[in-house]
Amino acid sequence: MDNKSKQIGLVGLGVMGKPMAKNLLKGGFNLTVFDIKPEPVQELVALGAKAAASPADLAAKCDIIITMLPNSPHVEAVVCGPKGILEGVRPGTIYIDMSSISPVVAQKLCGIVAEKGVEMLDAPVSGGEPKAIDGTMSIMVGGKEEVFNAVQDVLHAMGGTVTLLGAIGSGNTCKLANQIMVALHLAAVSEAMVFAEKAGVDPEKVYQAIRGGLAGSTVLDAKMNMILDRNFKPGGPIWMHTKDMLNVRDAALAIDAPIPLSTMVLEAFKACKCDGHVNDDHCGVIQYWEKLANVTVKRRK
C-alpha cells in the first residue's frame, strides 16, 4: 500500500526518533511531529515536517501515528494522559508503537486504543543510532497481518529488515530476546578480554585471532574497537539496556521463564550505574569486570 498521500505522525524525536523522522521525510511521506523539546521539532520543521502542539493535536491530524519513547510509562502517558493521543485520535487510525516496552503493556494499550476504533502494532527496533540514521534498523512487529501489510511502506522507510512475528506483544517479546542476547554477548566479550589482559596477552591480538571463528559475532566486531580505544560514547547507553533488562525480568516473571544469565548481566549494568557509567555505551559494562580484576583493556602502543 502507498501511504504517501496520508499524514504520518511521530511522537518522540530523541536519539532514535529524530533520524527515523528524517528517513520518513526522505521517503516522501507527509510528516507531523511532536516532542517535549522544541529543538528537534524545529529541526524537522526546517526539513519539511509540520509541528503539532501536543500528542492529541498530532493524533487529530494523522492517519498513521508512531511513538518512539524511552519506556512503558512514557508510552502510556502519551497515549492515555492529558492531551494524549486518545483525546484526538480518529476511528480507522493505525497506531504503531516503536518504543521498546513491556509486551504486557503493549497488549494493554492495544485493548485501550481498540475502544476508539484504532488498530495497533508494536514494532520495536534494533540497531542503535547508526542504523536509525542510515535506515537499516531491524524492525520486529506484533499485530494483525492486514494492519502490518497496510503500513509496510512506512516501516521499510525506516528499517532494512521488517518482520511480522505474530500477535500484539510479540514484537516486544522478540526485542527483549534480542536484548538478552546482546547483553550476554557483551558480558562474554568483557569477561574474555579481561581474562586475556589479566594473563598478559594483548586483547587486540586475541580479538583478531578469534573473530573469524565460532566465537566471532556482530557484537564483538561492533564493540571491540570501541573498548580498545576506550570510546564509550553511546550508540546504546547502559541506562537504556538496563531498562530493557528490567523489562526482561518483569516479562519473565509473568511467564515463569528462567533468566539466570540475564539477571547476572542486569546486576553488572546496575553496578556500572552506581560507578557513574550509566551514560556510557553498553559495551562500557566491561568496566565492571575490569574493576573486579584491577586491569584495563585498551589498545597497546
- Quickly list DSSP for the chain: ---TTSEEEEE--STTHHHHHHHHHHTT-EEEEE-SSHHHHHHHHHTTPEE-SSHHHHHHH-SEEEE--SSHHHHHHHHHSTT-HHHH--TT-EEEE-S---HHHHHHHHHHHHTTT-EEEE--EESHHHHHHHT-EEEEEES-HHHHHHTHHHHHTTEEEEEEEESTTHHHHHHHHHHHHHHHHHHHHHHHHHHHHHTT--HHHHHHHHTTSTT--HHHHHHHHHHHTT----SSBHHHHHHHHHHHHHHHHHHT---HHHHHHHHHHHHHHHTT-TTSBGGGGHHHHHHHHT-------
User: Is 50 among the catalytic positions?
Assistant: no
Selected catalytic residue, list 18, 22, 131, 175: 175
Active-site annotation, residues: 175
